[in-house]
Structure 1
């Protein structure tokens, strides 16, 4: 799970006064390891002089969450690093003084779906899909999906996503309130650019005040994030974690042990 992230893992492009951050590990559906999430965090934190920030993916995927390659043989240190860096990334998005838009160009799964939850606005390509993976792969989505997502789409629907690990098409995600708009795939970037242009006509000072004020629910859930991550660390190496990750990598249905 450890390892260094090369600069090409996260591509940063300045389009006028908007910073585009592109996750660039398409061979693993843009899943992030600690180094990659740290690079995303740095790119967001250095965006205060922009009008807006856009996060998107490459290779037809948005983000598959945390990289699972080594979860069948996890160490506490590796997993703590992954969890903590993921939370820092989400916090950076929330504390960024500029609006952060998710341009969802493909599958947003697991932590990738929580990345959408963390962003201020979200526009999805029609081919995009959404969903959590936690209990299916031996984990739990404690940094957004078990708490803040309930505020966004309602508690019952949020629990449905977090517990049943289903996949939802973009149109249904829009109906739930998980994204703001759905457009044809070839219109995604131009639509996001139009939204950014609209934001650029507004007061950055008062947009920042509006964003900071809107973080009330995120801030209220912050203790829940830390508690959840603490429990996940204590479960590192458990039979459920190992079986979930191994089954995912083997592309088979997991066979979890019965409840104790």
Structure 2
């Protein structure tokens, strides 16, 4: 019996499993249910024998993923109930992407912001439309990713650039992301799907066991970040319960500038 999902789409194609966040009305922001479904989808993809690749994307033309859905951040208990140290198992999803034996390609057609930027970072490869935008917003909305989103990002783009990304919360074009090493290739918007499929087809011709070993080998060098993430998320749990963090969420939902200083 095929698995039915509400927040995502799952399809096994000729050259890749396609996992797509299907919440375009909120720029593919994720809630608890989205994360739970993505974890299951990546575990299913890990067991799929017919292909070597996962193409991970977002529905619509506007966004790959814009991180956590701030409209439900303060109140969500989700379909499955809160799980994980911060109410949703985001660190478990990050591990599912890294632990998947398939090559995971991030297909970025629009905004990859916040948690979406982290997803693009930890995927094995990233192919972007010329319309794509990358960046962090955590400190603007009372949030942070204290593991793969910071320490692993620094390994990819360098310490100085990673600190700039988090401390200034700017947005970067696809070409800027390519120049800093966050993206493997930038193509015209209408060529994005064909390019992702071409890469998947090339990878699909290779030995799945050799690819899995290579991926495990790459991951081993940065595996200590999983421990950093565990400790960091424990700290974030306390931070999310603070009025300073809640002010960021309130301000975002009220479309105003946050006043963090009165709570610091």
Give the TM-score of the pair, scaled to structure 2: 0.90
Change beyond 3 A, Cα 1:99–1:247: same
Instruction: Give the superposition deviation at 1:149.
Output: 0.4
1:68 paired with 2:70, answer yes
Whole-angstrom CA distance in 1 between matches of 2:76 and 2:35 = 18
Equivalent residues of 1:98, 1:208 under 8 A apart: yes
Instruction: Give the superposition deviation at 1:72.
Output: 4.6
In the other structure, the counterpart of 1:199 is: 203
In the other structure, the counterpart of 1:113 is: 117
In the other structure, the counterpart of 2:219 is: 215
Equivalent residues of 2:244, 2:263 under 8 A apart: no
1:128 paired with 2:126, answer no
Equivalent residues of 1:151, 1:217 under 8 A apart: no
Whole-angstrom CA distance in 1 between matches of 2:82 and 2:161 = 32
Structure 1 residue corresponding to 2:251, chosen from 240, 247, 250? 247
SS of the equivalent of 2:134 reads strand
In the other structure, the counterpart of 1:180 is: 184
Question: After superposition, where does 1:121-160 map in structure 2 within 5 Å?
Answer: 121-160=125-164
Instruction: Give the superposition deviation at 1:23.
Output: 0.6
Whole-angstrom CA distance in 1 between matches of 2:140 and 2:95 = 25
Instruction: Give the superposition deviation at 1:145.
Output: 2.1
Change beyond 3 A, Cα 1:79–1:244: farther
Change beyond 3 A, Cα 1:53–1:82: farther
Structure 2 residue corresponding to 1:189, chosen from 190, 193, 196? 193
Cα RMSD, aligned residues only: 1.9
Instruction: Give the superposition deviation at 1:216.
Output: 2.5
Q: Structure 1: which 5+ residue stretches go unaligned?
A: 1-5
Whole-angstrom CA distance in 2 between matches of 1:163 and 1:25 = 28
Instruction: Give the superposition deviation at 1:83.
Output: 5.6
Instruction: Give the superposition deviation at 1:81.
Output: 5.8
Q: Structure 2: which 5+ residue stretches go unaligned?
A: none
In the other structure, the counterpart of 1:3 is: none
Structure 1 segments, 4+ long, off by >2 Å, are: 70-75, 77-84
Instruction: Give the superposition deviation at 1:157.
Output: 0.5
Q: Deviation string for 1:206-230 (max 9, x for gaps)?
A: 1111100000243111111011110
Whole-angstrom CA distance in 1 between matches of 2:207 and 2:74 = 49
SS of the equivalent of 1:44 reads helix
Instruction: Give the superposition deviation at 1:258.
Output: 5.0
